[in-house]
Amino acid sequence: MRAQFRSRIRLILSLIVCAAFFILLRLYFIQVVQGHEYVQKADRQFASGGNGVFDRGSIYVVRKDGALISAAALSTGFLVAINPQTLTDPEAAYAAIAVVASSTLLSHDAFLAVTTKKNQVYIEVAHRLTDEDGRALAARAISGVHVLHENWRYYPGGSLAAQSIGIVSYGSGDVLAGQTGLEAKYDGTLSRSGDLLYKNFFAELFSNVGNLLVNAKDAREGNIETTIEPEIQTRLENDLAKVNERYSSKESGGIIMDPSTGAIVALASYPFYNENDLQNVDPTLFGNPLVEHVYEFGSIMKPITMTSALDAGVITPETTYTDTGCITVDTKSICNWDSKARGVIPMQQIIVQSLNVGASWIATRLGQDTFREYFTRLFGQKTGIDLPNEGHALLGNLSKPQQVGYDTAAFGQGIAITPIQMIRALGAIANGGMMVQPHLVSAVRLDSGIVRKLDWSKKTPVFSATAARETTQMMTALVDQKLEGGKAMIPTMSVAAKTGTAQLIDGHGGYFSDHFFHSFVGFFPSYNPRFIILLYTNDPQHVEYASETLDTTFLGLVHFLIDYYQIPPDRGFATTTPA
pLDDT at 103: 82
Question: Tell me, what DSSP letter sits at residue 147?
Answer: E
pLDDT at 320: 97
Query: What ranges do the domains of the chain cover?
Result: 34-220, 230-273+290-565
pLDDT at 59: 97
Residues 6+ apart with CB under 8 A from 303: 351, 426, 429, 471, 474, 475, 498, 521
Question: What is residue 490's three-state secondary structure?
Answer: strand
Q: Which secondary-structure segment (H or E) carries 254? A: strand 251-257
Q: Which of 103, 68, 91, 472 is nearest to 259 (CA)?
A: 472
DSSP string, 11-69: HHHHHHHHHHHHHHHHHHIIIIITHHHHHHHHHHHHHHS------B--EEEE-TTS-EE
Q: Which of 203, 172, 201 is nearest to 187 (CA)?
A: 172
pLDDT at 195: 47
Question: What is residue 198's three-state secondary structure?
Answer: helix
The torsion angles phi and psi of 91, rounded to 5 degrees, stand at -65, -45
Residues 6+ apart with CB under 8 A from 558: 490, 493, 495, 522, 524, 533
> Class of the 230-273+290-565 domain?
alpha beta
Cα–Cα distance for residue pair 557/235, rounded to 1 Å: 8
pLDDT at 43: 44
pTM more than 0.75: yes
Is the CA virtual torsion 243, 244, 250, 251 positive or negative? positive
Alpha helices (runs of H) in 298-418, residue ranges in sequence order: 302-312, 348-352, 356-366, 368-379, 403-410
Question: What is residue 488's three-state secondary structure?
Answer: coil
Residues 6+ apart with CB under 8 A from 39: 149
Question: What is residue 220's three-state secondary structure?
Answer: coil
Query: Is 3.30.750.24 the CATH number for 34-220?
Result: no
Q: Can 34-220 and 230-273+290-565 be said to share one CATH topology?
A: no
Assign residue 130 a region: left if phi > 0, alpha if psi is -120 to 50, beta otherwise? beta
pLDDT at 132: 94
pLDDT lower than 70: segments of the chain: 1-8, 17-52, 173, 193-220, 573-579
Is the separation of the CB atoms in 192 and 56 below 8 Å?
Answer: yes
The torsion angles phi and psi of 219, rounded to 5 degrees, stand at -65, -15
Is the separation of the CB atoms in 228 and 265 below 8 Å?
Answer: yes
Strand partners, 534: 255, 521
Residues 6+ apart with CB under 8 A from 388: 180, 181, 184, 185
Q: Which of 575, 562, 557 is nearest to 256 (CA)?
A: 557
- Measured from the Cβ of residue 149, the count of other Cβ atoms closer than 10 Å reads 18
Amino acid at the residue 189: T
Strand partners, 13: none
pLDDT at 45: 42
The torsion angles phi and psi of 434, rounded to 5 degrees, stand at -100, 130
